[in-house]
Amino acid sequence: MYVVIMAGGSGTRFWPLSRIKSPKQLMSVFGGKSMLQRTLDRVLPLNPERVMIVTNVHQSEETARQLSGYTAFPIDIVEEPVGRNTAPAIALAAAIIAHHDPDATMLVLPADHYIRNEEEFCRVVSIACDEASAGSLITLGIEPTRPETGYGYIEAATNEGDGTALPVKRFIEKPDAARAAEFLDARNFFWNSGMFIWKVSAIRKELSAQMPDLAVAVGGIRFGTANWELEQLKPQINALYLTLRSESIDYGVMERADSVKVIPASFGWSDVGSWSALPEVIEGDKDGIVTIETRGLISIDSSGSMVYGGGKMTALVGVHNLIIVDTPDALLVCRSDRAQDVKKIVEELQLLNLTEYL
């Protein structure tokens, strides 16, 4: 099995900690290791043949630095010159793997997700690999625990089955609260995790059928040698990406293909999409206050807040439901229910050309 980790995102909702050269997946969001390093640790028990990290030119140096201590399996870094969403990245990774191992199984993971029960994750992935051997495109669907409106959903054709792959009926965009409640009650709707398992031959076949322009473009890459030295491919990749349109693998392939199946999974998953998601995965104190990278906390008549203290002693007086993030050059103070709007700060900084804060 080959693991492909998608690590080129910008993580704008985690500003000011997340920046262009050090986005969410390269950050120590929970303290200690970065999210990318935690993702690598998670796949260690699966004994992968190789791991490929698909990132972008701005983040490749820091990515390489963070991976330098990993020696359990070979790691390749593929640099995208510009972001083109997930379909081109997956098509490129599949082409490289297929050149060396046409019968390989490929596990695709985002670099910036949180999984509490990693042993259960590995068990489900092993089942998915077996299911993928027949040629199906397998995705992991998270069993919903609440009527969540912030995630996309996958509707299975049935809710019968015990840990087995279910045929996918459709993919659904983020619903409103009423529809999310209906999905929870129906028990055949699952959160779309963005984790995939398939044979490289199967995904390349579907790319040819559903996204022929992309398949032909990536298929034009010429491999000069049989080894895994990918540096020689950079000029071709740079030229190729100038011709590609941005497209997600969900829309480009998964929503259209007939061979898609979902495996229901429950292993404490979160996409950690914004600062407000951290209280879901980090236990707060008795007043529901989550602290990260603080030297200590004094809380007086305060509750329900998240503080990234930048190594400082932190004191709260009479505040509730706030997000506070202190970095050396920027300070964020935000209501918890407005966490999704942090990305608007990044957009404003871009408009003002304040690049030193990006």
Summarize pLDDT for 182-239 with one digit per residue, the tens.
999 999 999 999 999 999 999 999 999 999 999 999 999 998 776 788 888 999 999 9
In this prediction, residue 161 carries a pLDDT of: 64
Cα(59)–Cα(241) distance, rounded to whole angstroms?
A: 17
Task: Give the model confidence (pLDDT) of 282-336 as tens digits.
Answer: 889 999 999 999 999 999 999 999 999 999 999 999 999 999 999 999 999 999 9
Assigned CATH topology for domain 2-270: Spore Coat Polysaccharide Biosynthesis Protein SpsA; Chain A (3.90.550)
Six-digit token pair at 162?
A: 């015990």
In this prediction, residue 156 carries a pLDDT of: 95
Cα(240)–Cα(218) distance, rounded to whole angstroms?
A: 7
In this prediction, residue 162 carries a pLDDT of: 65
Query: Average per-residue pLDDT in the chain?
Result: 93
Q: Tell me, yes or no, if the pTM score tops 0.85.
A: yes
Task: Give the model confidence (pLDDT) of 37-46 as tens digits.
Answer: 999 999 999 9
Instruction: Say if residue 31's pLDDT is above 80.
Output: no
Cα(334)–Cα(324) distance, rounded to whole angstroms?
A: 7
Cα(78)–Cα(7) distance, rounded to whole angstroms?
A: 10
Task: Give the model confidence (pLDDT) of 247-264 as tens digits.
Answer: 999 999 999 999 999 999
pLDDT band at 91 (very low <50, low <70, confident <90, very high): very high
Angle at 20 between CA 14 and CA 22, to 5 degrees: 70
Closest CA to 262 of 185, 336, 337, 189: 189
In this prediction, residue 175 carries a pLDDT of: 94
Instruction: Say if residue 86's pLDDT is above 90.
Output: yes
Determine what percent of the chain is predicted with pLDDT higher than 90: 84
pLDDT band at 134 (very low <50, low <70, confident <90, very high): very high
In this prediction, residue 123 carries a pLDDT of: 96
What are the sequence ranges of the domains in the chain? Answer: 2-270, 275-357
β-strands 189-199, 137-142: how paired?
antiparallel
pLDDT band at 28 (very low <50, low <70, confident <90, very high): confident
pLDDT band at 94 (very low <50, low <70, confident <90, very high): very high
In this prediction, residue 279 carries a pLDDT of: 87
Instruction: Say if residue 159's pLDDT is above 80.
Output: no
The identity of residue 242, as a single letter, is: L
Residue 240: its H or E element: helix 234-241
3-class SS of residue 179: helix
From residue 121, give the alpha-carbon distance in Å to each of 30, 140, 141, 317, 332.
20, 10, 12, 41, 34
In this prediction, residue 163 carries a pLDDT of: 67
Q: How far is CA 325 from the centre of its chain?
A: 22
pLDDT band at 20 (very low <50, low <70, confident <90, very high): confident
Instruction: Say if residue 281's pLDDT is above 70.
Output: yes
What value does the mean pLDDT take over residues 120-142? Answer: 96
What value does the mean pLDDT take over residues 126-132? Answer: 96
Cα(311)–Cα(128) distance, rounded to whole angstroms?
A: 42
Six-digit token pair at 263?
A: 């495996």
